[in-house]
């Protein structure tokens, strides 16, 4: 099945913003209330400072005409009546007004610092929590999810998409709230001052919104395409690094560069367009703002020149004095500037809202994926045998295990783990259509070594994937010591299996860390013992820093065979009662393989082992050999039985033919 990309990088699903905000409010309600309060103060500060500037203007204009008992009044010291544009009168002087103005600015700065700081904390904490939840959820997803989704796309959720959410929360969201608040405040203040001039601003607002929709919409479209192109470029780089050797071997450097150039050009095309449209927005909006400013000025001049009526909500009121009028013009000019600046700022954030929602939508898609179901109620536990043959549960690592049934009535029932595994008429399909295994029955008794042989793609690995429940079977039964494996907790089932997977994966860390991965509480001595069983001890001691040598890049500094030996050591340290070795020795020379085989045979004495091997010499001493062909078991028996049968195995063994 070809990998599918995570949801096409298009627009967000409906309701994404609501979900995101709900999560945000649920996690940080008090922080957000604080942000909101600070924003209200900030906007209030901005607006009231404009009002006080207008009052100060009025005061200054009025001061020129004022005399008291023949001597001019000192407007900085003496108090007098200052009429505001809104009709209220303040008995004050210029000094007091300036002090109030200073205080308002201070509150504004403090509020601004407050919400920025709180928002930075909220954003980073939310992102931290979001990444954690996403990663935790990803760990619980069935293997099928990873089979059907390109790994590069999953990775970019944690980088690109998360970053768009960060931008949305830290910048766009506060800007959205601020613009809303400013618009409401400004609108009512303007309306209570002059309906005509308000009308000018409202018309300007709709023009601005039209531009935001037109230009902003276009630029958003290109920004989303830019994100998609960026994802493709990242995917290509990742693939090129992974396949570096293949590219060199086939001398495809030029072709690889060509492909990269194509993707890179595509990215440039979308990014250029996105930025061209995005960059137009700022000057266009700025100029509309300037235009509004001029319009307000002209309107004011007209009102003054023609003695127009100052139309307010309370009715007609002729302009009676210049001081009130000048203040009104000053206020209006400031309001229109503030209004335009805000809408402009918001238009810059629009893109982050669109992108943030698209990114959040994809991340939430991953979170909505159904996790692996685990209805198991049978647990694995270590037990200690008493002298009289009875046993009891223990915390320490013994080599004896039992299944612990947790019955509904709270009763506990223990059943010793023996390692008896039965597959009973199992059918399985990866995609729900084509059967990969059909009517497969296998009986592995405690202590037996069962081998699977067969051509590539016959279904050997698939059988082991079913025993450890990477996938669930379509039909039939798998029983472990008589218990249906669906009833066993998945983690406990897997803990009871020491698995060497066909693909070796090593993690960044020392050699010792990588061996200890098999059982985290294993001591250094136990790890070294396991390395000896896997015959890895010799090569490890020859490494520059022995067991402390750092491995990086999936163990790129080791040979293929050495990597396999480490993965065997990792399974050996787990010391599980059942072992599954999938092509564990395919890259190891025959002499080392013999030694490994002796080691594991010794380790697994009395325990059940499943081995998959292409080299038939490895499986000769098995208790039963299953020959698989196209998902069917076509022959089974011991090596001698199968040779005597003179069937497929015999022919394989004698080299008469190869399985197709």
Ligand X SMILES: Nc1ncnc2c1ncn2[C@@H]1O[C@H](COP(=O)(O)OP(=O)(O)OP(=O)(O)O)[C@@H](O)[C@H]1O
Cα–chain-centroid distance for residue 338?
38
Q: From ligand X, Mg ion, none, which one binds at residue 459 (CB under 5 to 8 Å depending on kind)?
A: ligand X
Q: Which stretch binds Mg ion (CB under 5 A): 84-92, 181-189, 453-461, 620-628?
A: 453-461
Q: Report the Cα 497 to chain-centroid distance in Å.
A: 31
502 binds ligand X (CB under 6 A): yes
**436 touches ligand X (CB under 6 A):** yes
Number of C-beta neighbours around residue 180 at 10 A: 14
> Beta-strand (E) ranges in 430-523?
435-444, 449-454, 475-480, 483-484, 497-500, 509-510
Q: How many CB atoms lie within 10 A of CB 498?
A: 26
Residue whose CB is less far from ligand X, 432 or 553:
432
262 dihedral zone (left: phi>0; alpha: psi -120 to 50; beta): alpha
Residue with tokens 């002059």: 194
Under the binding rule (CB under 5 A), the answer on residue 462 touching Mg ion is: no
Nearer to ligand X, 9 or 460 (CB): 460
Q: Is residue 461 near Mg ion by the rule CB under 5 A?
A: yes
Whichever of 438 and 481 has its CB closer to ligand X, that residue is 438
> Using the rule CB under 5 A, is 564 a contact of Mg ion?
no
Interatomic CA distance for residues 235 and 256, integer angstroms: 13
**Segment interacting with Mg ion, rule: CB under 5 A, options 12-20, 122-130, 333-341, 460-468:** 460-468
Closest CA to 628 of 650, 604, 648: 648
Residue of the chain from 64, 210, 214, 457 that contacts ligand X (CB under 6 A): 457
Cα–chain center distance at 122: 17
Selection from Mg ion, ligand X, none that 456 binds (CB < 5 to 8 A by kind) is: ligand X
Instruction: Give Cα separations from 513 to 80, 498, 535, 547, 554 (angstroms).
Output: 82, 17, 17, 9, 13
**Residue 457's binding partner, choosing from ligand X, Mg ion, none, with beta-carbon cut-off 5 to 8 A by kind?**
ligand X
String marking each residue 11-50 x if it binds ligand X according to CB under 6 A: ----------------------------------------
Where does 64-161 have alpha helices with state H?
A: 94-139, 143-148, 151-156
Q: Which stretch binds ligand X (CB under 6 A): 280-288, 289-297, 455-463, 638-646?
A: 455-463
CA proximity to 469, closest of 372, 609, 607 = 372
Bridge-based pairing state of the strands 497-500 and 578-582: parallel
User: Which among 260, 263, 282 is positioned nearest to 271, based on CA atoms?
Assistant: 263
Does residue number 462 form part of the binding site for ligand X (CB under 6 A)?
yes
Do residues 89 and 83 touch, judged by C-beta distance below 8 A? yes
**Residue with Cβ nearer ligand X (359 or 454):** 454
Q: Does 146 bind ligand X (CB under 6 A)?
A: no
Q: Of ligand X, Mg ion, none, which one does residue 386 interact with (CB within 5 to 8 Å by kind)? A: none
Choosing from 9, 232, 277, 460, the residue that interacts with ligand X (CB under 6 A) is: 460
Say if CB 612 and CB 606 are below 8 A apart.
Answer: no
> Quick check: 430 binds ligand X (CB under 6 A)?
yes
Cβ closer to ligand X: 417 or 624? 624
DSSP state of 69: T
DSSP three-state, residue 462: helix
**Among residues 310 and 462, whose Cβ is nearest to ligand X?**
462
Residue 619 interacting with ligand X (CB under 6 A): no
Q: What x/- string results for residues 499 through 518 when contact with Mg ion is judged by CB under 5 A?
A: ---x----------------
Total binding residues for ligand X by CB under 6 A?
A: 13
Question: Whose structure tokens read 């995005």?
Answer: 278
Site stretch for ligand X (CB under 6 A), options 52-60, 272-280, 451-459, 472-480: 451-459
Among ligand X, Mg ion, none, the one that 324 touches (CB under a kind-dependent 5 to 8 A) is none
Nearest residue to 305 via CA among 325, 289, 285:
325
Q: Which of 65, 81, 136, 147 binds ligand X (CB under 6 A)?
A: 147
Nearest CA to 621 among 636, 638, 646? Answer: 638
DSSP lists the bridge partners of residue 500 as 581
> C-beta of 627: minimal distance to ligand X in Å?
11
77 binds, among Mg ion, ligand X, none (CB under 5 to 8 A by kind): none
Q: How many helices (H) and strands (E) does the chain have?
A: 21, 22
Among 67, 139, 409, 456, binds ligand X (CB under 6 A): 456
Q: Which does 430 bind (CB under 5 to 8 A by kind): Mg ion, ligand X, none?
A: ligand X
**Shortest approach of Mg ion to residue 459 CB, angstroms?**
8
For the chain, how far is it from start to end, CA to CA, in angstroms? Answer: 22
Contact between 145 and ligand X (CB under 6 A)? no
Backbone angles phi, psi at 557, to 5 degrees: -90, 15
Q: How far is CA 390 from the centre of its chain?
A: 50
Residue closest to Mg ion when measured from CB atoms: 461
How many residues would you count in the chain? 660
Q: Which is nearer to ligand X, 38 or 463 (CB)?
A: 463
Q: Radius of gyration (Cα) for the chain, nearest Å?
A: 38
Instruction: Please give the Cα distance from 572 to 410 (Å, whole number).
Output: 35
User: Which residue, 438 or 582, is less far from Mg ion as judged by CB?
Assistant: 582
Among 359, 459, 555, 577, binds ligand X (CB under 6 A): 459
Size of the site for Mg ion (CB under 5 A): 2
Interface with ligand X, residue 429, by CB under 6 A: no
Taking the complex as a whole, the smallest distance from the CB of residue 658 to Mg ion amounts, in Å, to 17
Cα 243 to Cα 253: distance, rounded to the nearest angstrom: 11
Least CB distance to ligand X at residue 504 (A) = 13
Locate 35 and state its tokens.
Answer: 């942000």
Q: How far is the CB of 505 from Mg ion (least distance, A)?
A: 15
Contacts with Mg ion, residue ranges (CB under 5 A): 461, 502
Contacts with ligand X, residue ranges (CB under 6 A): 1, 147, 430, 436, 454, 456-462, 502
């Amino acid at each position: 099945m070809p990998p599918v990309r995570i949801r096409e990088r298009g627009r967000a699903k409906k309701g994404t913003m609501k979900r995101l905000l709900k999560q945000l409010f649920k996690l940080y309600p008090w922080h957000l209330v604080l942000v909101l309060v600070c924003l209200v103060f900030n906007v209030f500060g901005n607006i009231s400072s404009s009002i006080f500037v207008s009052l100060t203007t009025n005061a200054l204009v009025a001061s020129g005409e004022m005399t008291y008992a023949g001597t001019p009044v000192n407007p900085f010291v003496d108090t007098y009546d200052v009429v505001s544009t809104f009709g209220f009168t303040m008995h004050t002087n210029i000094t007091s007004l300036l002090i109030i103005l200073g205080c308002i600015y201070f509150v504004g700065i403090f509020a601004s610092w407050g919400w920025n700081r709180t928002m930075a904390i909220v954003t980073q904490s939310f992102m931290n929590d979001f990444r954690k939840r996403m990663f935790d959820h990803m760990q619980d997803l069935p293997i099928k999810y990873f089979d059907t989704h390109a790994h590069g796309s999953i990775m970019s959720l944690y980088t690109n998409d998360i970053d768009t959410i960060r931008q949305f929360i830290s910048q766009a969201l506060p800007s959205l709230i601020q613009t809303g608040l400013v618009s409401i405040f400004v609108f009512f203040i303007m309306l209570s001052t002059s309906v005509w001039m308000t009308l000018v601003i409202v018309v300007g607002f709709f023009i601005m919104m039209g531009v935001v929709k037109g230009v902003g919409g276009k630029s958003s479209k290109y920004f989303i395409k830019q994100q998609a192109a960026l994802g493709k470029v990242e995917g290509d780089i990742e693939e090129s690094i992974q396949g570096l050797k293949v590219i060199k071997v086939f001398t495809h450097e030029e072709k690889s560069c060509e492909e990269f150039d194509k993707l890179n050009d595509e990215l440039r095309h979308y990014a250029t367009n996105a930025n061209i449209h995005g960059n137009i927005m700022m000057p266009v909006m700025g100029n509309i703002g300037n235009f509004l400013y001029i319009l307000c000025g002209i309107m004011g001049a007209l009102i003054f020149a023609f003695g127009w009526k100052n139309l307010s909500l309370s009715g007609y009121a002729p302009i009676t004095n210049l001081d009130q009028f000048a203040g009104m013009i000053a206020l209006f000019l400031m309001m229109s500037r503030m209004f335009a600046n805000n809408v402009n700022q918001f238009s810059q954030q629009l893109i982050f809202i669109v992108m943030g929602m698209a990114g959040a939508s994809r991340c939430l898609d991953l979170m909505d994926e159904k996790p692996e179901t685990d209805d198991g109620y049978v647990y694995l536990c270590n037990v200690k045998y008493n002298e009289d043959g009875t046993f009891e549960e223990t915390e320490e690592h013994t080599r004896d295990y039992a299944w612990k049934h947790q019955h509904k009535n709270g009763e506990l029932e223990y059943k010793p783990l023996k390692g008896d595994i039965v597959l009973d008429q199992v059918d399985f399909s990866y995609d729900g259509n084509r059967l990969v295994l059909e009517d497969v029955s296998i009986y592995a008794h405690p202590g037996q070594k069962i081998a699977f042989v067969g051509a590539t793609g016959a279904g050997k690995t698939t059988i082991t994937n079913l025993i450890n429940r990477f996938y669930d079977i379509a039909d039939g039964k798998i029983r472990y010591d008589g218990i249906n494996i669906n009833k066993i907790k998945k983690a406990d089932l897997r803990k009871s299996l020491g698995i060497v997977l066909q693909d070796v994966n090593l993690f960044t860390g020392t050699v010792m860390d990588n061996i200890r991965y098999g059982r985290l509480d294993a001591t250094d001595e136990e790890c070294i013992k396991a390395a000896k069983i896997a015959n890895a001890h010799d090569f490890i001691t020859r490494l520059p820093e022995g067991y402390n040598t750092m491995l990086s890049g999936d163990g790129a500094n080791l040979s293929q065979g050495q990597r396999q030996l480490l993965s065997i050591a990792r399974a050996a340290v787990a010391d599980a009662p059942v072992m599954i070795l999938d092509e564990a020795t395919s890259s190891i020379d025959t002499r080392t393989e013999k030694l490994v085989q002796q080691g594991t045979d010794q380790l697994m004495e009395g325990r059940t082992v499943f081995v998959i091997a292409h080299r038939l010499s490895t499986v000769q001493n098995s208790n039963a050999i299953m020959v698989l062909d196209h998902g069917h078991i076509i022959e089974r028996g011991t090596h001698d039985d199968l040779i005597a049968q003179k069937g497929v195995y015999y022919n394989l063994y004698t080299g008469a033919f190869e399985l197709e």
